[in-house]
Structure 1
Amino acid sequence: MKVHNFNAGPSVLPKEVVKKSAQSVINFNDTGLSLLEISHRSIDFLEIIEKATCLVKRIMNLNDDYAILFLQGGATLQFSMVPYNLMNQKAAYLDTGFWAHNAINEAKKFGQVKILFSGKNKNYTYISKNYHIPCNVDYFHCTSNNTIVGTQMKIFPKTSIPIVCDMSSDIFSRKLDFCQFSLIYASAQKNVSSAGMTIVIVKKDILGKLKKNIPSYMDYKIHIQNNSILNTPNVFSIYTSMLTLEWIENQGGLTILEKKNQYKAKLLYDEIDKNHLFENKIHKENRSNMNVSFFLKKKNLEEKFNKMWKKENIVGLDGHRYLGGYRASIYNALPLESVQFLIEIMREFEKKFS
C-alpha cells in the first residue's frame, strides 16, 4: 500500500534510510548487536559521529572554523542555549512565526531583546526585508522557514553582527552560503533524521566571550570538547542522520535537491492558485518550499475533502492546531509523485464541488 506522507515532523525519510536504520536495529554492521545496544563510546559509534560530522561540513562547504554538535532537547532547548552562550546584554530578533516568537520569549529571560520585525499582526503571512540590524547587539536571530504558517526567508541580511538561524524545517533543502551564519541549529525530525536529536553548527570563535557561569549541558564549548557525548547521545538518531546525509550527497547535493524542491513547490502552489476551491494566504515572495499551507474557501466543504484525501492514503495533511486548514510538508524525501497525487485529488474535488 502506497502512503503519501505529508507530516510536518517527524516526517518522511528516504526509503533506503528507513530500510538501513531498521536493519541496524536487528543487527548493526554484522556485530550481532542491535544499534540500540552498542556503547556510545565504542569505536562503532565514534565512527558514525565522525562520518556524520564530515558529511555536514562537506555538504554545507564549511571548514574547521565550525564545530558540529549532535545534541538533545530539540530546537526548544536552543531557544535558551543561544542567549545563554551569546547574549551579554542585548540581541536582535525577527518575529516571523510561532517558533520564532517562542525563541524571543526565552531570550527575554537572559537580557534585552530588540524585535526588528514582527508579522504577528498579519498572522505571520509575510516576512519584511525592511529592517536594520543595530551595531550594538550581541547577535541577530532569525528563523529561515516557518513550519506552521508556511513562510520562508529567501535572502539573509549582510551584517558584521553574528547571525544565528533556526533552520529546523529547511536545513539541507537548498544551497546557501552557510559561512554567513555564526550559528545554525535544527531539530532533526524534518529533513534529517528521527526525532530526538538537534544539529548545532557553530563558529568556534564566537564562544567563550562572556563572563558567565554556564551550566555544563548548556555550554557549547563543553559539548565541543566532549565531541557531543558529554552525556549519552541519541545513537539511533545520529546514525539515521548519517545515512540521510549520505543520501543527500548521492542525490547530487544541495543544488540538485533545491531544484527538485522548487519544482515540487511550484506545482502545488500553481494548483492552489488556479483551483476555485482553495487558497494560500502567504505573500507569494515569502512562500515556503517546505511547508505549503492552504485553506478551503468554503469551510463547509472541509468534512468532504478530509474524507476524500484520507481515503486515498494521504496522511499528515491537517493544518497545525493553531491555524487550521491544511499543510502539505514537502521535504527532501517526499517523492514528486506524492505531490502530483495530491494535486489530482484537489482537481477531482474541484470537479465535484466547484
Structure 2
Amino acid sequence: MTAGAAAALAAAYTHGPGRLVEPGESPRTPAAEGPRVPLTALPGRFGAAVARLLVDVATPLRWEPWNQYNDHRAYPSARAAATVDLVLAVGARRWPLDPVRRALVGDRPPALDGPVRVELVRRRDRLSPGYREFGDVLTELEVGHVAAALVERAAQVGLVARAEGLTVSLAFAGPAEPPPLPRRSSGSGPRGIAADPRPLPRGTLDAVVRAVNHPPAGSPVRDDLRHRLAVRNVEGVADGWYAVTGGLRLVEPGPALPSLQAVFGHPPGTIHLASMNLALVTTGDPAAAVAGDGPDGYRALLRAAGATAQHVCTAAAHAGAFCRPARSTHDGPLEALAGAPASHSLLYLLLLGRPRGAGFAYDLTPLEAR
C-alpha cells in the first residue's frame, strides 16, 4: 500500500466511531475581489443557458428570517456554510462565481459558443475548526450534492453535463424551456423537524427508489455504494428494512425506523426521527475504494453518496416531501442496524417524510407524544 493510500484510509477511519466534533461559530470568509460580470450578461449562443444553470443551482433561492441557517439553495449544505465554490472555466481562463450577487468575478468572458467547465473548489475553511477532520467529510458530501445538482438541471436548460472529480463539463444540447425548480425542504420549522403523522403515499417511496436506481447520465454516482431503506407508515407497504438497489425488496420486517432514534445524535425535540417515514442509510467500503481508485477513492465514495442523496432530495421535493441529510449519528450501531458488511463505513443518512403544515409556513401544532 502506498503512503497516499494509507493516509486516505487513516482519514476514513477517524471519521467514524469515536470522532470528536465541537461545532462553533462558522468563520466568515471575505468575498473575492475584482470587477463583476452579471450572469445575465454572459455572451455566446449558450451563455444564457449557463447563466440559468448557475443561478438555479448555486445561488441563494430564498431566505427564511426565522431560520438559524436561512440561506437556501438547490442543494443542502452543513450549517448553510456553502463549502463549495464554483468557478467557470474556458480554456485556461477562470471566473469565480459570486453567488449572492449572481455575477462572475473578473473581466468579461469570451462568447460561450463551445464547451466550458465548472470547477468545484472545496472551502472546508467555512466550517468551524471544531469539526476537525470531519469537516472534510461534510465538504466532500456537499461536492457530490453540487455536482449532481448541476447535472440534473443542465439537462433541463439545454446543456449536457458530466461530472468527473472536481469538474463538471458542459456542452450545448439545444434550446429548452426549463421547468420550475421543485421547492426543496429539509423539514425545518420553529418547533423542530418532524413528519406529518398521516401515511406517506406509496408514490413518494417509489420516487426515492427510482432516484437511487436511475440517476441522470453524467452524475458522479457509483455502483459500489450500499443502500438500505427503513420504512414506516407508507400506504400499502409493510414496515421494515428494504434493499433498494435494483428495486424495492423487504429484507427484515418490523419496526425498523423507530429503532434509529437510539443511534441518532439529535434529541426528538430537535429532529423527531421516530416520526419519519423513510430513512436511507448509505454505506461503502473505503479500503476497496482506495485499492481500486487510489488515494482519492474514499473521497470519491463520499462524493458519490452526496450525489445519490441529491437525486433523492430532488425526487422528494417533486413529491412534496422533505429530505433531511444527517451525519450526527453513532456510526457503528447504525451500520449494525442497517446490516452493513463489516468492511463498510457509514457515508450518509437521509430522513424523509411529508412536512407538517402547509409547506414552509409556521406550524404551531404540538409534536406527537415523545
Q: Please state which structure has a larger fraction of its residues in strand.
A: 2
Q: Please state which structure has a larger fraction of its residues in helix.
A: 1
**TM bucket by the smaller chain?**
under 0.3
Q: State the TM-score, normalized to the length of structure 1.
A: 0.26
Q: State the TM-score, normalized to the length of structure 2.
A: 0.26
Bigger relative contact order (CA 8 A; separation at least 6) = 1
